């Protein structure tokens, strides 16, 4: 349902209260709000929240969802600028790929922007002076850092930390993703599809913390060096993926992706990879693995 903005605090309090009273507080693996809604049903949950907040949700037509690219430079309504900085998997460090943390710190100390963390774990620096572009970019260039993604597939790619820091991880994700993205970008360039790079996500276990189940192309860890491969989501993240196989070895992933992109190039009709996969059906891609 819908609620006027002035009532949103009451709505949030209602949601929290229902989860507090009815959520499974005995089993951590079953404690999240999504499990309560799945167990009790959306109609039940809506009714309980309405009781807590003291008013009914409004019912109206859902607007069409559209994706807004926040990366790069954008002019704001107050005349200032914002800059969306891509950070692969949100890892802000001074490491082998350069002194990213130091560069961000210098930029923030110099320009004092408002800083927002996005759902894709990028940063948006807002309120930058309209004449600050050159000086801002110079901070990153002086440290040999690119301020735009290394290739089209990188801009919306995401992985969970997985090994070695997550106790639930079954295999690699964040540490392996850069190598896999390099292969994926190579396949996109090879087939002339770089301008249509899909949303790629990778996790080290089925819990899906990097939201693989709404990506266009996803890899979900099942055991050491073994992944489930999913296709068929859309760029907007409003359609769920479908599983091709859950036993794909890690060293098979690059060639499998290349074969899938070859089909996309040959049979696609100027559509995103996710839309092509959804239209073609998972059987089309499962045939690529049948002989193995």
pLDDT in tens, 1-50: 999 999 999 999 999 999 999 999 999 889 999 999 999 999 999 999 99
How many helices (H) does the chain have, and how many strands (E)? 9, 11
pLDDT at 68: 83
- What average pLDDT does the structure give for the chain? 95
Residue 129 exposure: Cα atoms within 13 Å on the Cβ side = 11
**Residue 292 pLDDT > 70, yes or no?**
no
**The domain defined by 72-148 carries CATH number 3.90.480.10:** yes
**What does residue 93 show for φ and ψ, rounded to 5 degrees?**
-145, 160
Provide the pLDDT confidence category of residue 73 given band limits of 50, 70 and 90: very high
Kindly report, as residue ranges, where domains of CATH 3.90.480.10 are found in the chain: 72-148
Kindly report, as residue ranges, where domains of CATH 3.30.413.10 are found in the chain: 153-289
pLDDT in tens, 153-200: 999 999 999 999 999 999 999 999 999 999 999 999 999 999 999 999
Q: Which two tokens stand for residue 97?
A: 């790929």
For domain 153-289, give the fold: Sulfite Reductase Hemoprotein; domain 1 (3.30.413)
pLDDT at 65: 79
DSSP structure string for 159-174? E---TTT-TT-SS-ST
Task: Indicate the pTM of the whole model.
Answer: 0.83
């Amino acid at each position: 349902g819908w609620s006027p903005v002035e009532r949103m605090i009451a709505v949030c309090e209602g949601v929290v209260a229902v989860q507090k009273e009815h959520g499974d507080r005995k089993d951590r693996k079953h404690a999240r709000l999504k499990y309560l809604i799945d167990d009790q049903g959306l109609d039940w949950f809506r009714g309980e929240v309405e009781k807590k907040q003291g008013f009914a949700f409004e019912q109206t037509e859902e607007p069409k969802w559209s994706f807004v690219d926040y990366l790069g430079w954008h002019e704001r309504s107050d005349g200032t600028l914002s800059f969306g900085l891509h950070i692969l998997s949100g890892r802000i460090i001074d490491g082998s790929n350069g002194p990213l943390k130091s560069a961000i710190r210098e930029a923030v100390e110099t320009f004092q922007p408002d800083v927002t963390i996005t759902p894709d774990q990028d940063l948006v620096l807002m309120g930058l002076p309209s004449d600050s572009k050159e000086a801002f970019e110079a901070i990153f260039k002086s440290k040999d850092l690119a301020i735009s993604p290394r290739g089209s597939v990188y801009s919306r790619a995401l992985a969970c930390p997985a090994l070695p820091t997550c106790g639930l991880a079954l295999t690699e994700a964040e540490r392996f993703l850069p190598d896999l993205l390099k292969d994926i970008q190579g396949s996109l360039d090879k087939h002339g599809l770089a301008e249509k790079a899909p949303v790629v996500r990778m996790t080290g276990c089925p819990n899906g913390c990097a939201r693989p189940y709404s990506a266009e192309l996803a890899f979900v860890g099942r055991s050491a060096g073994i992944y489930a491969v999913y296709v068929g989501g859309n760029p907007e993240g409003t359609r769920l993926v479908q599983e091709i196989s859950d036993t794909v070895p890690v060293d098979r992933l690059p060639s499998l992706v290349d074969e899938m992109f070859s089909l996309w190039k040959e049979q696609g009709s100027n559509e995103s990879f996710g839309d092509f996969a959804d239209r073609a059906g998972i059987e089309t891609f499962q045939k690529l693995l049948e002989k193995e």
